[in-house]
Chains A and B, each alone.
Chain A
């Protein structure tokens, strides 16, 4: 897969190869399936109100625990249920599929904000630590050590219980997990970059530190930043879901995938679909994101092999 990306077919050979083989090559070379999953998630999130077959919050008591559409026996036994529920309904009769579609929207929003905040904070600290070195570096890196030792989930639990939970708090918590990955790599990158000739030339020409950092160093670490950010998305989606599962995530009844898994736990034996499908969605999206991140890293920044 990743290795295949480097194999290039000679141009004239492509003319003779049958289209099926070319299609196969494209599939091997570009992570089309993962990209399709990610695009699907974004489309679902962006057009949630248009795509959702039902209202995601409306409770239909007759449809409590309605089975997925491929169980016609269930619908035959429950004639009062209106229509069919494609992936079933949950314990209070809300459509699982519609809630998953709206859950995609919440996930994108929360993870997006957290990742942007984390990227900005982490990159800034990494640039400062790498460029200035000395005491600045020491303070930032000791703070990093301390942060790495703090059990995130405990803090999240404590905050969730003491302060309460809301969407901004969850965003903040996830931002707290996401920044640290950037600091180390950006710092290491800057440490080598700042020895380059163009940086000393810029300094001799009278460029200020802030100009060197923003105009000369930042553009050179952008690749690294994008690769790390892509590799972090999966972890953040999982972290958000774990919070929801432990009951300190985004408050119910807002549908998030983690909340839905939590909802369905008590009904596993009678209605497995309540927990199963949201979990499957998390799994598919995280796997696609990681796969895409790996592919991007191999193309843009193979030095980062050790990350993640």
Chain B
């Protein structure tokens, strides 16, 4: 168990370092960030000023050194300042992260509540109407472009029927009316993924020897499904959780753009368009850390559900 966790920890740190380096290198690679500083009216910038700016931002050093310095400061919580409005990156991220977390957590709960039970039902009543509905939903959810679904839902529910607002997050801590459409759009492919995996995992387990034995002993259907089969069928959905979470990160960028929500995703799009590299790097670090932490939790849950993993 300990070696397993140590290995995961080391590879997580490598992931963090590598992923931020890739983004950092690309965004600093072009000399563009300086042009942002050349405001206001800024075409008459003297070469000395550019040189001074380069030194101030550390752009005169090799990319690897810049990245190492940045990462060193980042571990102390200092992500630098945005080039665009000179406010601290951590503050800008902090203002926006609430919306993204609310969106992501609601979507994840919704996806699990839809995907897992229907997946179990489809497997237990194989060949029934539930199975067909479930399988159709799985195909549908993984094939629909989520930004297009968002647009179409806005057209139907906000523009034509005027039932729901089309954008932003509304007043107060959590305004359900504003979150319904984005959460649905963000969670549909994840729900479909959970459904597919749960169904096939349940089918495999229900077909195994120990379930047959339990049946022949006369154990009731409910107990077999939920105690014998479900616990064992949990492992594949847990494994894909990590993959599905990357989908959430990508999905939140698109969903927040469609619904004009002030979260990290739309901040990312803006910062990239401004070539605000400290902000881009900060957001990347945050996304990757989120991914790494979630993966780590998934591994822990894994070891909890499947005792065999603890031994290796």
Chain A residues at the B interface, C-beta cutoff of 8 Å: 1, 3, 142-143, 145-155, 157-163, 234, 238, 241-242, 245-246, 258, 261, 265, 268-269, 272, 275-276, 279, 282-283, 286-287, 290-291, 305-306, 308
13 A/B residue pairs, CB under 8 Å, sorted by A: A143-B18, A145-B14, A146-B17, A149-B19, A150-B19, A154-B280, A158-B23, A234-B143, A261-B147, A272-B155, A283-B143, A290-B142, A305-B200
Is B152 located at the chain interface by the 8 A CB criterion? yes
| A151, A272, A282, A305: the one within 8 Å of B287 (CB) | A151
**Cβ contacts under 8 Å, B280 to chain A:** 154, 158
Q: Are B268 and A268 in contact (CB under 8 A)?
A: no
A157-B272, A246-B254, A290-B139 known; A265-B151 Cβ under 8 A: yes
Chain A residue numbers with a CB within 8 Å of B295 are 149
B39 to chain A, nearest CB (A): 18
Interface digits, B252-266 against A, CB 8 Å rule (1 contact, 0 not)?
A: 011001000000000
Q: B283 an interface residue at 8 Å Cβ cutoff?
A: yes
Taking A149-B18, A162-B29, A283-B145 as given, write out 9 further A-B residue pairs in contact, using a Cβ cutoff of 8 Å, ordered by the A residue number.
Answer: A1-B135, A142-B14, A151-B291, A155-B22, A155-B26, A242-B254, A245-B145, A275-B152, A290-B139
Residues of A within 8 A of B148 (CB): 241, 245, 261, 275, 279, 282-283
Does B181 make an interface contact (CB < 8 A)?
no
Question: For the complex, what is the distance from the CA of A234 to the CA of B193, rounded to whole Å?
Answer: 14
Contact at A279–B145, with CB atoms within 8 Å? yes
The answer to whether B145 touches A154, judged by C-beta atoms less than 8 angstroms apart, is no
Enumerate chain B residues within 8 angstroms of A276, measured Cβ to Cβ. Answer: 152
CA distance A262 to B32 in the complex (A): 27
Given contacts A142-B14, A238-B145, A269-B159, contact A158 B27 (CB under 8 A): yes
Q: How far is the CA of A258 from the CA of B249 in the complex (A)?
A: 19
User: Can you list the 6 inter-chain pairs with the closest CB atoms, starting with the nearest?
Assistant: A279-B148, A287-B143, A146-B18, A149-B15, A286-B143, A150-B19
Q: How many residues of B contact A (CB 8 A)?
A: 58
The residues of B that contact A149 with a CB separation of less than 8 Å are 15-16, 18-19, 288, 291-292, 295
B283 near A287 with CB under 8 A, answer no
Chain A residue nearest in CB terms to B11: A145
A157 cross-chain contacts in B, Cβ below 8 A: 253, 268-269, 272
B257 closest partner in A (C-beta): A246
CA distance A15 to B188 in the complex (A): 45
CA distance A162 to B254 in the complex (A): 20
- The residue in chain B whose Cβ has the minimal distance to the Cβ of A2 is B135
A242 contacts which chain B residues (CB < 8 A)?
A: 145, 147, 250, 254
The answer to whether A158 and B272 touch across the interface, beta carbons within 8 angstroms, is yes
Tell whether B284 is near chain A: CB-to-CB under 8 Å.
yes
Q: B145 touching A162 by the CB < 8 A rule?
A: no
Mask, B271-288, CB within 8 Å of A = 1, is 011010000100110011
Question: CB within 8 A of A153: which of B11, B154, B249?
Answer: B249
**Distance between A281 CB and nearest chain B CB, rounded to angstroms:** 10
Chain B residues with Cβ below 8 Å from A258 are 145
**Bound form: Cα–Cα A147–B288 in Å:** 10
Contacts of B19 in A (CB 8 A): 146, 149-151
Is B165 part of the contact surface with A, judged by Cβ < 8 Å?
A: no
**What residues of B have a CB within 8 angstroms of the CB of A159 in the complex?**
26
Q: Tell me if B120 counts as interface (CB < 8 A to partner A).
A: no
Docked complex Cα distance between A282 and B250 (Å): 18
**What 1/0 flags go to B101-122 for Cβ under 8 Å of A?**
0000000000000000000000
What is the bound-complex CA distance between A246 and B254, given in angstroms? 7
Q: A162-B32, A242-B145, A242-B250 are in contact. Are A154 and B139 (CB under 8 A)?
A: no
Q: Which of A246, A261, A305 sits near B269, CB closer than 8 Å?
A: A246
Check if A279 sits within 8 Å of B152, measured CB to CB: yes
Q: Once bound together, how far apart are the Cα atoms of A159 and B32, in whole Å?
A: 13
Q: How far is the CA of A286 from the CA of B140 in the complex (A)?
A: 9
B69 interface residue (CB < 8 Å to A)? no
User: CB distance A142 to B139 under 8 Å?
Assistant: no
What's the Cα separation between A143 and B154 when bound, in Å?
A: 40
Judged by a CB distance under 8 angstroms, whether B41 is at the interface is no
Distance in Å: Cβ of B116 to nearest Cβ of chain A: 16
Complex CA gap A305/B200 in Å reads 7
Q: Which residues of A contact B15 (CB under 8 A)?
A: 145-146, 148-150
**Is B172 at the interface (CB under 8 A from chain A)?**
no
Query: Is the CB–CB distance between A162 and B26 below 8 Å?
Result: yes
Q: CA of A272 to CA of B30 in the docked complex: distance in angstroms?
A: 39
Contacts of B32 in A (CB 8 A): 162
Residue in chain A with minimal CB distance to B25: A158
Q: Which residues of A contact B14 (CB under 8 A)?
A: 142, 145-146
Interface check B144, CB cutoff 8 A:
yes
